[in-house]
């Protein structure tokens, strides 16, 4: 047997690479020839590159099976590459024409279900395009940082960096009013002489800024996140135009906007929004889909796939503030929601009351532990609506759903690579994957949403 003399590239090595295709998550795929692996070459996943590009890239990680690299320079651009609209690290696919973005996302859903789940025989709908390709997000999380000259900035983490913050003047994913609120907060912080937290030493006050918008109501919710310390809250309230201004203080080492103690500075704690005929109140830490207009499309598809006749018992798992369950309550006999985040459950209960929906009941609990109790309380469901986080369902949660034995499962997924093994486990237990409907919620990014329908055989 011939012995390969191929040497895997070291971290920090610079390579010239020809990019062949796109992996799930958005990185380009290139191969180093002569690796002797018998599979067409050692794979390098390249951020900032698209199929057809020839790039100079630096290796950031090296593993036995593959390496990861970051594009330093595009030596020969792909024929498909177009000029970017915005200098924005959160919009890596903007150099691809939108029609091509849609085609790649459709292909990646099929690839995940086939390659990971070994699933076939289902109906696949054409991907639903986004209504707006820019300025569609109702929520942005920014980070404070320090420029080379010492100036306070507010923007996003540089690609591949946990400490460098790239300032943004106009976030093209946010509305003009949302951008204005960010600029108002930044100007006030500069006038106060406040410093950003150094992510190496954890010295400094300012950490993050969260701006959330009611797309249908026009309301803004602004939340500044700091370490321990003090702010002149009266002055801040006079500097920022919004309907709800909050302050979260945390001493956590990790950078997160979901931990700490939050207090109201001015206005209302909950953000008012309208979707699918519902009037909703959204508390600061509650999950809500970040593209309001496309969330309405997504939920409409999920409701159609549930195929309710008016008598069914529906379980809404990972229900959040109750959006999915409340949007289908009029078509169901009863709705039972389960969610681990207690403020979100409180929102769901409040939202049911404000929309005069009396056949929906919501509980706080971990689906993994509480689903059996919910079955004991409500009896077995006819339909399960499931909208899990990006990590998908653990095997134990899938087993609990199988035990509950719903006739139909409508799975709203934000990650086809976790949908695939979950669906495969359900199919092994006797369900049939009937239909998959991809939906583009996040143009200019590699993120993919889809609705999958499984029925008990």
Instruction: Provide the residue count of the chain.
Output: 457
CA 28, distance to chain mean position in Å, is 20
189, 319, 384, 414: the catalytic one is 414
Structure token digits, residue 311: 């008598």
* Token pair in block for residue 72: 């330093």
Beta strands, E only, 318-430: 334-339, 360-364, 383-386, 408-413
Active site residue 414: yes
The DSSP annotation for 378-395 comes to H---SEEEE---TT---H
CA-CA distance, 174 to 182, in Å (whole number)? Answer: 10
Torsion angle (degrees, nearest 10) of CA 81, 24, 446, 25: -110
446: its two tokens: 């590699």
Which residues have C-beta within 8 Å of that of residue 449, sequence separation ≥ 6? Answer: 294, 298, 412, 413, 414, 438, 439, 440, 441, 442
Question: With DSSP H G I counted as helix, E B as strand and the rest as coil, what are the percentages for the chain, rounded to 5?
Answer: 25, 30, 45
Quote the tokens at residue 168: 């943004």
Counting runs of H as helices and runs of E as strands, what totals does the chain give? Answer: 9, 22
Distance CA 151, CA 157 (A): 16
Element of type H or E holding 176: helix 176-191
Quote the CA–CA distance of 411 and 302 in Å, as a whole number: 8
- Tell me which residues are annotated as active site: 414
């Amino acid at each position: 047997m011939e012995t390969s003399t191929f040497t895997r590239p070291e971290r920090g090595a610079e390579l010239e690479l020809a990019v062949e295709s796109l992996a799930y998550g958005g990185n380009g795929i290139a191969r180093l020839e002569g690796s002797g692996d018998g599979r067409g070459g050692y794979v390098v996943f390249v951020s900032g590159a698209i199929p057809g590009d020839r790039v100079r890239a630096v290796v950031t990680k090296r593993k036995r099976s593959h390496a990861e690299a970051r594009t330093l320079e595009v030596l020969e651009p792909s024929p498909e590459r177009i000029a970017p609209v915005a200098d924005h690290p959160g919009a890596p696919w903007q150099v691809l024409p939108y029609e091509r973005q849609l085609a790649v996302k459709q292909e990646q859903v099929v690839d995940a279900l086939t390659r990971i789940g070994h699933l076939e025989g289902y109906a696949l709908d054409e991907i639903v395009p986004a209504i707006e390709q820019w300025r569609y997000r109702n929520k942005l999380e920014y980070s404070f940082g320090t420029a080379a000259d010492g100036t306070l900035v507010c923007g996003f983490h540089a690609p591949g960096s946990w400490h460098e913050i790239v300032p943004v003047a106009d976030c093209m994913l946010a509305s003009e009013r949302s951008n204005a609120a960010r600029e108002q907060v930044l100007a006030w912080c500069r006038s106060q002489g406040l410093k950003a937290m150094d992510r190496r030493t954890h010295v400094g006050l300012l950490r993050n800024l969260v701006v959330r918008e009611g797309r249908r109501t026009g309301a803004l919710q602004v939340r500044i996140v700091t370490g321990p310390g003090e702010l002149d809250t009266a002055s801040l309230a006079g500097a920022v135009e919004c309907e709800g201004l909050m302050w979260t203080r945390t001493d956590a080492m990790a950078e997160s906007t979901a931990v700490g103690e939050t207090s109201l500075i001015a206005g209302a704690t909950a953000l008012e929004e309208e979707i699918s005929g519902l009037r909703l109140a959204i508390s600061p830490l509650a999950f809500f889909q970040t593209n309001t207009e496309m969330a309405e499309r997504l939920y409409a598809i999920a409701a159609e796939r549930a195929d309710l006749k008016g008598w069914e018992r529906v379980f809404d798992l990972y229900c959040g503030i109750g959006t999915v369950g409340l949007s289908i309550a009029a078509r169901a006999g009863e709705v039972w929601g389960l969610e681990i985040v207690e403020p979100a459950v409180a929102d769901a209960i409040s939202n049911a009351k404000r929309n005069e929906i009396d056949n929906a009941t919501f509980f706080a609990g971990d689906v993994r532990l509480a689903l059996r109790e919910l079955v004991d309380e409500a009896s077995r469901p006819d339909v399960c609506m499931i909208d899990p986080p990006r990590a998908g369902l653990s095997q134990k949660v899938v087993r609990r759903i199988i035990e509950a034995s719903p006739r139909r499962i409508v799975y709203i997924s934000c990650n086809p690579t976790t949908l695939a093994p979950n669906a495969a486990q359900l199919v092994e237990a006797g369900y049939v994957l009937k239909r998959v409907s991809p939906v583009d919620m996040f143009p200019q990014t590699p993120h993919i949403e889809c609705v999958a329908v499984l029925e008990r055989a």
